[in-house]
Amino acid sequence: MLTVDELNLRAAALAEEPLLGTLAATVRTRVERVLREAPPMPVRKALLSRDGGVCPHDGALLLFDPWQPSAHKCPRCGRVATGPRHDGHWARAGHLWVAERIADLATLAALEGDEDAAACARELLVRSAAVYAEVPNRDNVLGPTHLFFSTYLESVWITSWLAGAFILRQTDRLDDETAAAVGPGSGPGG
């Protein structure tokens, strides 16, 4: 993690270093739609199954579209698969995708002073913390988890999720509501 001083140095270097500017532009591209409209939030635990996320017609892996939680397109035959097992498979990538966007948005806020990105990151942190608190922490084959079927995936998710919160805190953009959602005794941060 970068300290606030390191973040400020990177922000100052954006104008001078083309590579950093290119990286920031890439991050901005990833969040453009998120800044315009709130993405669907996965509201269930991810499902690991043999058939979820697999086209029932030709066996191809279904495409992940973060904006389509219940309609999953096959890249091979073009058909759309629906149902709870496919939705549960979508939730795995959906949870990870939201956490990555939180980190991206917080990074833009820190590097470019984008307050809309900071607000969006805060909103996603609060929304995802609420989902986390609602999904039971159940044991399964690979350990007790809220959002995933493995503690490993949950650790990958929480790393991006907390990185976003940390960056917001380091740049004085973590408001009280969001701090309460991510802090001790609440949500994943607790």
Where is pLDDT greater, at 18 or 44? 44
> What's the pLDDT score for residue 65?
98
Average pLDDT, the chain: 91
CATH 1.10.10.10 fits 4-46+86-182, yes or no: no
Alpha-helical regions (H) of the chain: 4-13, 18-36, 84-112, 115-134, 151-170, 176-182
pLDDT at 152 over 80: yes
Mean pLDDT confidence for 131-141: 82
> What's the pLDDT score for residue 105?
98
Quick one: what percent of the chain has pLDDT higher than 70?
95
As a whole number of Å, the CA-based R_g of the chain is 18
Task: Give the angle subtended at the CA of 136 by the CAs of 131 and 142, to the nearest 5°.
Answer: 110
> What's the pLDDT score for residue 77?
98
pTM of this structure: 0.91
pLDDT tens, position by position, 20-49: 888 889 999 999 999 999 999 999 999 999
> What's the pLDDT score for residue 190?
58
- Neighbouring-strand partners of residue 145: 138
pLDDT at 150 over 70: yes
